[in-house]
Amino acid sequence: MFSFFSSQNADIFSINIISTQVLTLSFLKICRKLVERPKKFEASMNDLFSRLLELQKTFANELKINGDKDTITLKYNPKEQLYEDNIFANNPAIKFVNMFHKTMSEWLIDTIRGIEDTDSRLLQNAQFVMKQYINMLSPNNFPFLNPDFLKETMNTSGRNIKKGMEILMNDMLSGTITTNDRQKFRIGKNIANTAGKVIFQNKLIELIQYLPTTTEVYTKPILLVPPWINKFYVLDLTSEMSFVKWLVDNGFTVFLISWVNPNEKYRNVGFEDYILDGLHASLNKIHEITGENQVHAFGYCVGGTLIAALLAYMANGSCKHQSKTRITSATLMASLVDFRNAGDLSVFMTKIFLETIHDHIENRGILDGHIMHNAFSALKSKDMIWRYVINSYMFGKKPPANPILFWNSDATNLTVSMQQFLSKDLYYDNRLIEGNVSICGVPINLECIKVPLYIVSFVKDHLVPWTSTFDSTKFFGGDIRFVLGGSGHVAGAINHPSKNKYCYWVNERKDNGASSAEEWEKTAEQFPGSWWNDWINWVAPKMGKQTKPRNISAWLRDAPGIYVNNELPT
């Protein structure tokens, strides 16, 4: 939606134009609904008039209070050769513009939210579009309305502008806004570098087994199932942030799926293939290597959705693919099974948008990963777009190295078949909880899942709302521990205990009868630090006795493998 146009990314540009048009159309439909309701429209105009009058009074008081202050003379420090006071921040014109933007933004959002008897998806799209334009029109995004830019320009004699233009030109050539210093990281060197071996490969996955670091390990292995819409190493960032390394250092035998980054030849590879050639094949290989017939499965985002689907499939008596290693407990981290309230990503799940996107990518066979990256960035445009426009193009500062943002910009493609399933069958039609998703002809019924589940969600997750994951607990048939972690979809997930950041909530009351997320939250108890501490106390007793580490006797190559570097199987 916000990528630059270049000859190298014409398809991405055209998709972004389509998405902008579709979303703007939703906004215009909402505006028409408002105009067609004279009383509602009149009330909205009266509300705006009242707010502007209040703005006038507030601004007049500001002028009266600060009228005797010097807003013209700059204080210059000849020793430091810098202007000390940022008097531009006190400039009446700049102050008024900021106050006006705030007033209009709040009125617009409140007006849209107040429109009743309207399709919820249409209303959500209209709010999304309005927030995009509000963020875009922030005074700080305009050089001569940004007091910090004006001060920086004077202190550097305009060198910041020259550096900013250089960064802008490079970004235009690359077709995207640079959010991270990618030269600082090397996959397998200082990121995704936990020691391990690729012990199995097919057309869809590399299965990695990590080397033990303890004298004893739990008998049962753990299988990590990351999402395929991103690279796996969000679970294995730097050593100080790696969930994989933390598991290994705590005595777990860890296996992890690394998904291939598909090209057009994978166009017909869909959800059933990811179930059978991905998750099911991994379970059989784990049995072959370890001899164990029980494993704990840990899924992140749609990786958790995949685990839930396989568990329900294998619990059905008609299942045609019983694995030799069974999932006897599972963790679903920030994973949806009920997509009725699917977070901010739902704005891209309207019927007309899905049809347009599908028609556009049908000939290519894949949805280019950079389109997904731009979509995710648009959902948090203030932090992921305009923040870098200001710092990079106006201040001439290159973004610092950040392992999370490095991973976030490492885009992966979606096959046409998988894109259609995720967007239409899951997000739009919500077929999973209705029993209308089948694997090899066997309908999926989540109530058949009886194994213990640890479901963790995050309080600021804009992609997977925690209230939706809580509501999904009623669809499972076994014992569930629900935990709410601090922060968002990524930062909350990889919250290493050594950081002692954020917090988490649990509700130990078995008889609280909470029928909603709000009721659960009222009696939940807050604990400091990482939810990892709670999780390991829950999972460790289920992992069997301690035994000597297993040696890896046969492997294909060192971790992190080749699929993570976008190489394809030969």
CB 314 within 8 Å of CB 322: yes
Q: Which runs of E-coded beta strand occur in 350-435?
A: 366-367, 414-415
CB 168 within 8 Å of CB 393: yes
Orientation angle between helical segments 92-113 and 38-66, nearest 10 degrees: 160
Cβ neighbours, 10 Å, residue 311:
24
Alpha-helical (H) ranges within 477-549 are: 517-522, 532-539
- d(C-alpha 16, C-alpha 1), whole Å: 4
- d(C-alpha 122, C-alpha 130), whole Å: 12
Among 301, 319, 448, 503, the active-site one is 301
Q: Collapsing DSSP states into helix, strand and coil, what is residue 26?
A: helix
Q: Could you identify the residue written with the tokens 């992966």?
A: 412
Decide the pairing of beta strands 222-225 and 254-259.
parallel
- d(C-alpha 387, C-alpha 185), whole Å: 22
- d(C-alpha 490, C-alpha 181), whole Å: 19
- d(C-alpha 535, C-alpha 455), whole Å: 10
- d(C-alpha 345, C-alpha 23), whole Å: 12
Could you give the count of Cα atoms lying within 13 Å of 140 in the half-sphere of its Cβ?
A: 15
Reading phi first (left if > 0) and then psi (alpha if -120 to 50, else beta), residue 569 is in beta
Q: Is 301 a known active-site residue?
A: yes
> What is the residue type of 288?
E
Q: Annotate 263-318 with DSSP letters as a single string.
A: -GGGTT--HHHIIIIIIIHHHHHHHHHH--SEEEEEEETHHHHHHHHHHHHHHSTT
CB 528 within 8 Å of CB 503: yes
Cross-strand pairs, 527? 504
Tokens of 361: 């990518």
Q: Which contiguous run of DSSP H or E holds residue 327?
A: strand 326-333
CB 45 within 8 Å of CB 147: no
Reading phi first (left if > 0) and then psi (alpha if -120 to 50, else beta), residue 500 is in left
Q: Which contiguous run of DSSP H or E holds residue 481?
A: strand 480-485
CB 471 within 8 Å of CB 338: yes
Q: Collapsing DSSP states into helix, strand and coil, what is residue 500?
A: coil
Tokens of 518: 């709000």
**Residues labelled as active-site residues:** 301
